[in-house]
Amino acid sequence: MNIKNIFYQFKQGLYKTRIEFTNKLGLLFGSSKDKADFLEKLEELLILSDLGTSATAEIMNEFQQINFKEYKENNFIFFKEKLKVLLIDILNSTVSDIKINEDRLNVIMLVGVNGSGKTSVAGKIAYRLKKINKDIIIIPADTFRAAAIQQIKILADKVGVEMINTKEGADPASVVYDGISAALARKKNIIIIDTAGRLHTKTNLMNELEKIKRVIQKEANGWPLEILQTIDATMGQNAIAQAKSFNKSLGVTGIALTKMDGTSKGGIVIAIKKELDIPVKLISCGEKLNNLYDFKVAEFVEALLD
Ligand SMILES: Nc1nc2c(ncn2[C@@H]2O[C@H](COP(=O)(O)OP(=O)(O)OP(=O)(O)O)[C@@H](O)[C@H]2O)c(=O)[nH]1
Ligand SMILES: [Mg+2]
């Protein structure tokens, strides 16, 4: 997808945040009597939009330096441009895409709390990679509910990719073991593993994921392994604690931030960048298979503040 398209997709996907954040920004800028009033309102909005304390402090620090009169004499666009530069600067620190190795088997595993969008993202990644002719196999390692297997099967069929058969109650690590053997035998490019949702505080369930990771590392020795954590953007600051726990157990390689279309608090992406050492790689803004995008910082910020 070209850059202009990504900008329009983000703009649409970030509609709620844009209305909430950018419109309020305009209002507060216009209605501020003096610098102190402006700074107070700005800080409140940044916190409410889930940017997190660290990014908020950094932004406040920058705006403390300004000559407010000069700002007022210029206009809102001038202020927005200054904020864009700041946000791009904060977000650019750890940019990274999902990398697919051409000549090797790539394993992509989705992890995350219940309902955060793992299965949907698994389907969306399959859709995207299938379009560039990758030979994909899906491993349904969420065997906890029959409905979960059915859900990913429907997506696999829709996209037109193969899925390993399994049944409710099967041991997830064994399903992954069998899946990798099958992928090897069939000379696949890409394995996508959907896992069951779990709370990051449930030790036994986190251990189960660690076991799956060990199986992958043993059976798919030396292959690129992408462990993507889905984070529901509507979760707010809770997401930070979740990500820290998953990362500690598994070594998460990237975050897929989901449901960005459903929140007015898209500022969470900035908090994630600031407070975690894990790159946001993908942004999901919608339920359609093509609603998954690489996280492109400049386009994202432009769309947010457009
Ligand atoms: N609006 C919107 N809905 C989404 C997005 N991503 C996922 N959803 C919806 O969120 C719900 C949960 O998504 P799933 O993909 O089933 O989440 P999951 O993490 O696999 O859930 P469990 O397996 O039950 O833990 C579904 O209704 C999805 O359609 C998104 O980017 N935008
Ligand atoms: Mg699922």
* Residues near ligand 1 (Cβ within 6 A): 112, 114-120, 142, 148, 196-197, 230, 258-259, 261-262, 284-287, 291
| Ligand with the closest atom to the CA of 259 | 1
Whether the pTM exceeds 0.85: the reply is yes
Distance of CA 291 from the midpoint of ligand 2 (Å): 17
Model pLDDT, residue 1: 65
Question: Domain check: are 143 and 271 in the same one?
Answer: yes
Q: Can you tell me the distance from the alpha carbon of 252 to that of 110, in angstroms, rounded to the nearest whole number? A: 10
Residue from 101, 45, 88, 33 nearest 300 by CA: 88
- Tokens 């696999």 sit at which residue? 156
CATH code of the domain covering residue 65: 1.20.120
State in Å: Cα 196 to ligand 1 middle. 12
- Over the stretch 171-228, which tens digit does the pLDDT of each residue have? 999 999 999 999 999 999 999 999 999 999 999 999 999 999 999 999 988 888 999 9
How far, in Å, is the centroid of ligand 1 from the Cα of 30? Answer: 38
Instruction: Give me the pLDDT at residue 127, please.
Output: 98
Residue 301 within a domain: no
178 plus 222 within the same structural domain: yes
Indicate the helix (H) or strand (E) that contains 296: none
Same-domain status, 90 and 121: no
Which atom of ligand 1 is closest in space to residue 194's alpha carbon?
20
Tell me, yes or no, whether 81 and 151 share the same domain: no
Domain assignment present for 121: yes
pLDDT of 230 above 90: yes
Tens digits of residue pLDDT in 77-132: 889 999 999 999 998 866 678 888 887 889 999 999 999 999 999 999 999 999 99
Neighbours of 53 (CB within 10 A): 13
Pocket test for ligand 1, best of 145, 209, 287 (most atoms within 8 A of CB): 287
Pair (198, 119) in one structural domain: yes
Alpha-carbon distance of 275 to 39, in angstroms, equals 23
- Is residue 236 within 8 Å of 253, Cβ to Cβ? no
Q: What phi and psi, each to the nearest 5 degrees, are found at residue 230? A: -85, 135
Give, in degrees to the nearest 5, the angle at Cα 265 between 263 and 266.
Answer: 85
The protein residue whose alpha carbon is closest to atom 7 in ligand 1 is 117
Q: Are residues 160 and 273 in the same domain?
A: yes
Phi first, then psi, for residue 56 (nearest 5°) are -60, -45
Domain that holds residue 159: 106-296
Q: Residue 100 has what pLDDT?
A: 85
